Amino acid sequence: MIAYVFPGQGAQFSGMGKDLYENQPLAKELFETANRILNFRITDLMFEGSDEDLRQTKVTQPAIFLHSVVLAKTLGDKFQPEMVAGHSLGEFSALVAAGALSFEDGLQLVYKRALAMQKAGEQNPGTMAAVLNLPDEKVEEICAEIDDIVVPANYNCPGQVVISGTVGGVDAACERMLSAGAKRAVKLKVGGAFHSPLMAPAKEELEKAIHAATFTPPVCPVFQNTSASGETDPETIKTNLIAQLTAPVKWTQSVRNMIAAGADDFTELGPGNVLQGLIKKINQHLISG
């Protein structure tokens, strides 16, 4: 069964989507529509912007969403997914590609999400760190022991969990993770403590926008970050999407469930191939485990 997956923040690069814009009339039309909706030429930043330009949350998120969705749309009849999933921001790309959300509504939600997350990151400063080679249960246990706010934020693959919280909480947790045998605990360059309680103000803002948008049943199950299961009911999809900002991204669990549901061909749509690497590790772990 064919599964399409869509990347999240961090996959961006200068020049992303330029070849599509120049060679595909439909892509050019979608990019120009996006420029109008956003009221600035995001294409200029995507095609010519510096790494610093592209690292701004308000640019990164719509840029990655655009690249992913345009790729899916330009596949035309070749795009026939039997299931889809997206990592964090990528969930919005997956929902649009699967027909649960229109392109316009999806882009507006992503932009509102990006602005709300950037604002929440300024209101409640925090950070994130990748913890390598420690069992998920141990990461959860250590986070629970810290007095400050720190939680598992992304279950990326076996042996790679990203934690999120206050700077003090993440620093204290990293120290304990290393003492407990983690190979590394690396702080990430991010604009806030994503997928943690510190994103609560952003969740409130996005909730209103999600309720105002029109959701329809997707053409195939969408494996969502918070439930890790294939959803088709628009109300369930909305509820999970709202919860996503303060809840962990259960990527390992989602991929395992997709494989259990019959997925044997994963295609990544978007900049880079980070998810392909994670899926290989998850699958390899399933086979060897």
| Residue-range domain boundaries for the chain | 2-122+196-288, 127-187
Question: Could you tell me the pTM of the whole model?
Answer: 0.95
Tell me which of 68, 87, 88, 254 is the catalytic residue. 88
d(C-alpha 134, C-alpha 3), whole Å: 28
Q: What is the pLDDT of residue 289?
A: 42
Please give the mean pLDDT across all residues of the chain: 95
d(C-alpha 193, C-alpha 198), whole Å: 6
Active-site annotation holds for 285: no
Indicate whether 176 pLDDT > 90.
Answer: yes
Structure tokens at 237: 């999809």
d(C-alpha 163, C-alpha 9), whole Å: 15
Q: What is the pLDDT of residue 287?
A: 54
Run of H or E including 25: helix 25-38
Q: DSSP per residue over 203-270, as a string?
A: HHHHHHHHHHS-----SS-EE-TTT-SEE--HHHHHHHHHHTTTS-B-HHHHHHHHHHTT--EEEE-S
Q: What is the CATH number of domain 2-122+196-288?
A: 3.40.366.10
The whole-number average pLDDT for the span 108-118 is 95
Q: What is the pLDDT of residue 246?
A: 97
Confidence of residue 150 (pLDDT cuts 50, 70, 90): very high
Q: 127-187: CATH homologous superfamily?
A: Malonyl-CoA ACP transacylase, ACP-binding (3.30.70.250)
Run of H or E including 242: helix 234-243
Tell me which of 67, 93, 195, 227 is the catalytic residue. 195
Active-site annotation holds for 14: no
- pLDDT per residue as tens digits for the range 47-91: 999 988 888 888 999 999 999 999 999 999 999 999 999 999 999
Residue 164 CB: number of other CB atoms within 10 A? 30
